[in-house]
Every structure is written in C-alpha cells, then in structure tokens.
Structure 1
Amino acid sequence: MRIEVIRQAAGHELPLLLDEDGMPIPSANEFILGRQHLKTNTLARNARELMIFFEWLDDQGIDLWHRVSRGQGFTEAEVVGSLFVMLRRDRSRGKVTKLAVEPDTYNQRLLTIAAFLRWYFDTCLVGMSSDNRVRERVKENQARVASWFNEGSISAAPTSRASGSKSMTDREHAFLVEL
C-alpha cells in the first residue's frame, strides 16, 4: 500500500490511499475526502494511519464490509490483542523499525482509526431499514468497538523541560520565607 498526493486544478492537494495494485481504497479515500477541510499534512497522516489499519485487515483476512454489514463485528482479541499491538509499532520507511512509538503517536492512530470506524459503521447503518434485525447488532458492535478504542488510549508521560520552570526545594522555600 502507498499514499499518492493528487494536486487538484484549484491547487489543493489531496492524499489518496492506494492498494498493492495501485487502485484507490474506496472507503478510506471517501473518509479522507469527507475531511478535506483539514490541512494536507493532516490528511496524509490520517492516510498513513489508515494504511496500518488496512494492512492489518489484509493480514487477518478480514473483509470489513462483510463484517460490519452482517452484524458480525470484531472480537476483543482481534482489536485489543492484535490491532492495538500493530498500532504501537513504529513503521518508519514502511516497515517495523522499533518496538514502540511515542504515546502521542499511538493515541493519534487510535483516534483516526476510531473516527474511521465510527464513520464506517454509520455509513452501513444509513443503508439499513429501521426494521432490519441486523441493524441492532451493528449498533451494538459499534458501541463495543468504540469502548475498546476509548479504553485503549494511553496517557503520555509528561515531557521534561530543560529550560522550563521547576518548583522550589524545601530549602529554597525556607530561604524565601526568611527574606
């Protein structure tokens, strides 16, 4: 998979996610097109994050539309035990280079893929009639997947500031009070 940036006649640049054969991935690109109010770099980052997700789908042999539209959804083992592990890996230059990325990078990947899945589930639900029995299962799966993504985020450790302020020691505080 790769990302290709298309320059439109008006000068706007739009990144597109392409599969191994060089064909656009419709759902990913439709999601990106819906966010074209964002900057090109943000959209390119979103496309890179979605690329990881679609590579995971390929590795697992999962047909996303089949899973979602039939109410099958995902198991916790698939999402938490497999996808989240893949999202934690650094993928510089298209392959895994280090074991883990920074917490902010991981959280950003989670946010993008969670937004994509929310959009994807909603797209599927819009096409179903309100009396369809599968509709309720799709909604339940959507809520379950969303909760796993909410629980999956990690809080970043505070970064140390070399030039930033720091608190006074007890000794410095006593000296200041004495003055």
Structure 2
Amino acid sequence: MTDGRGYSTKIIRLESGERFPLMVSRATGLPDAQVCSYSISQQRTGSINSAKREVDSLCLLHEWLDKQGIDLTQRVESGTLFAPHEIDMLSEWMRASKKEPRSIRGTPIPRAVKADTHSDRLGWTCDYIEWRTAPIIHRASTPAHAINLRARLTEVREQIDSLRRSGRKGQREALTDEQREFLLAVCRPDDTRNPFKPETRYRNFAIVLMLDELGTREGEPLVLKAAEDLRLHGANPSIVIVPRPNDPDEVRRKPPLVKTMGRTLIVSRVLATVLDTYAMRHRAGLKGAKRQPFFFMGTKGDGAAMSLDSVYDIFEVLRLRFPEDLPADLNPHKMRHTWNARFRQRAAELGWKDAFRDTVNNYLMGWAKNSKQSVNYSHSEIVKEASRILLDLQGKIEAMA
C-alpha cells in the first residue's frame, strides 16, 4: 500500500498473474466500486506501474472531496461539476507531496511534487471525471441537457489543462563520444576504476553494454528469461524481448515491463560473451539460480530476480563516482537517447531515406510501425545537423561580405 490519509492503493494479483490496482478506504478496508470499474474499463491493457500511479491520484482526489464535503455522484448527475475556485483548490491539493514536511525554524513546510507529477495527477483526475460524466450525458433526459453537460465538462477540462505545467526543460541530450567511451571503459570488470563490487561487475557491465548496444528500455534486460530469450551461441547470437504483462513468474514489487512491442535483436560477439560469462561464472553460483527463470539476478542470496531499483543504482554509483567525466543526469533513458542519436548518424552515412530509416528505427526500439517517437529520441543528432547547416550558411554569407 502507498502512504496516504483516507485512501490507499492496493495491488492485487489475480490467478492469471495479472496485477490490478484498487483504491481502498483506510477506514473500512473496502475497495471503491466506481474506481474499480474505472480501472477495469480503462487500465487493463496498460502498465501496472502507470495504473498504480493513476489510482494514487484518484486516492488524492477522493481525499480532497471528503475534506470539502463534496459528493461527486451528486455533482456529476446535477451537471454542476466544479466551480473555478474549487478546481484551483484541487490543483493545489494535487501539488502536495506525501513526503514529510520540511521544518524551518520549527514551522512545518509542506513539500511539493515536481511539475510533471502535478500535471499527470491533474490529467488523470480529469479523465476520471469525464468517465464518471459520460453515462450521465448518454442518458440525459433532453438533448439540451446533454449539450449543457458537455459544455460544462469542456470548461472543466480547459481550466484543468490551463493549470498543468511541464517541468521538462527541453529534450534530453545524448552522451558525447568521450562520455560514452569513458562509461564503457570504467564498467569493464577488469578496469581498475570499476566502482562496483566484484560479485556484481559482470552483471552490471552486461546491462550497461546492452543499453548502449541495443538501446533497450531500462526494464527490458530484466524481463529476459534464461532458458527462453537468450541465444548466445551460433553464427548470429541474439536476444528476444517478449512482452509478458501478466507473467505468473513475475513476483517483483515493481515489475519491469516491456512497454513497447516484442522483437528479436542481434547482439555483438562482445555482448554475447559477456552475457555468457555472467551466466556460467557468476549467475550459476547464486543461490536459487536454477529455480529463478529471469536471467539477471540480485546478489542478496535470496534467489530473487534483479530489481529496477538496482538498475537505477548502477547509474547513481557511476554519477557519484565520476562527476567530472559523466553527466549529472546519466540514467538508463539517456543511454536510449544516445543509441538513437548514433543510429540516426549511421543511417545518414549509409544514405538511407527518411521513411526507411524510421521504419527500421521503430522496429529496433519496439515502437509501432508508424510511430513518430524517433523524432523525440533523435533530438541530439537533429541539433548537430542544424548547427552544421547554420555554420555552412554563415560561411557563405561571410564569403559574400
């Protein structure tokens, strides 16, 4: 359960292996029927992590409704929904962090969440209000009443959207060539600068190398199964990334998920050798290795699969140990951006047409065939090309002057 006041989010696991979030009243211990219906109809096909965050936001919404003495069902059925000042109050409520308040000269100062979190909370809240309102509009007694409900709902949506702010400051930039070379060098198990414990060096190197070489998401190495998804021998070694949203083998508290489409990826001889070395010389000696289906394991001696937090810890250790050589925002997703920048540059060198390049890019990243995600992930290379053409144009102007 998550921390909270009147409500909390409880994740239940069905017999099929599917995880499902419930909003539970702390007073009664019972789930809320409306939120449960909403989750069933809106969240079953998505990530459990995203679904949990959304239900967390609905817990906050219902806590605010209780505090204000507002009956949401009555408001929806009457069509009044919320007054502008109430939406402002709700927005401030959604801004509050659940962390302990800071104390300044003995006075508790509430903490605020990041702008992106606040924006997500407001967006999910609005989606839920629209879902609650939709059946009322459908069974409105007159066309005029339905029109009025839609108009009021539009006003609420517009006001909520006006209060949402993104904390993102531009696109995430890729690693420079020097930073990437340094990162791969210090992660080598035999490098004297390697900051990791001997028992984790091969595992961590394999993960960093996989992120660098294949551009996978941070959770995708963790869903690989030792007996099914690694083909490390033969002429063309490869790994298979398979979406398993309701995998009965998955028991991790924060299950890593394949958010994108499945795919088979050819790996280099170097990566295949590192993975094979980890499997034969390191993983095989861990307690419970034969029973653990997932390839990458933790090192606590309990036979558990490696967690997402452990992946993030790899990059935190690297950032703290080498602040002069690695960027302060080094993380698994930056590796994915770096891969895409390198891919775009190589595609240009090969003379690929944009359409063909994007099709290949989408497959390798696991995006849908017609996805436009490659534009977001190739920002660094676009900036480099823009700078190059500007300098070229400026050179022509200087020659004329």
Q: Which band: TM-score by shorter chain?
A: 0.7 to 0.9
Cα pair 2:116 2:168 within 8 Å, conserved: no
Cα pair 1:46 1:112 within 8 Å, conserved: yes
Cα pair 2:38 2:128 within 8 Å, conserved: yes
Corresponding position: 1:48 with 2:56: yes
* Structure 1 segment 29-44 matched on structure 2, within 5 A: 29-34=36-41, 35-44=43-52
Residue 85 (structure 2) aligned to one of 71, 77, 82: 77
Determine the C-alpha separation between the residues in 1 that align with 2:166 and 2:57. Answer: 19
Deviation at 1:51, TM superposition (A): 0.4
TM-score in terms of structure 1 length: 0.81
Cα pair 1:16 1:24 within 8 Å, conserved: yes
* Structure 1 counterpart of 2:112, one-letter code: A
Deviation at 1:46, TM superposition (A): 0.8
Determine the C-alpha separation between the residues in 2 that align with 1:45 and 1:154. Answer: 18
Corresponding position: 1:116 with 2:128: yes
Question: RCO (CA 8 Å, sep 6+): is it higher in 1 or 2?
Answer: 1
Structure with greater proportional helix content: 1
Corresponding position: 1:100 with 2:112: yes
CA RMSD of aligned residues (A): 2.7
The corresponding residue for 1:21 is 28
Gaps of 5+ in 1: 168-172
Residue 127 (structure 1) aligned to one of 113, 118, 139: 139
Which region of structure 1 is more displaced relative to structure 2, 154-163 or 12-21?
154-163
Gaps of 5+ in 2: 1-6, 101-107, 174-325, 330-379, 385-390, 396-401
TM-score in terms of structure 2 length: 0.38
Determine the C-alpha separation between the residues in 1 that align with 2:9 and 2:147. Answer: 35
Deviation at 1:135, TM superposition (A): 2.8
The corresponding residue for 1:2 is 8
Which region of structure 1 is more displaced relative to structure 2, 15-24 or 131-140?
131-140
The corresponding residue for 1:12 is 18
Displacement over 6 Å in runs of 4+ = 159-162, 164-167
- Aligned pair count? 165
Q: Which has the larger radius of gyration?
A: 2
Deviation at 1:62, TM superposition (A): 0.5
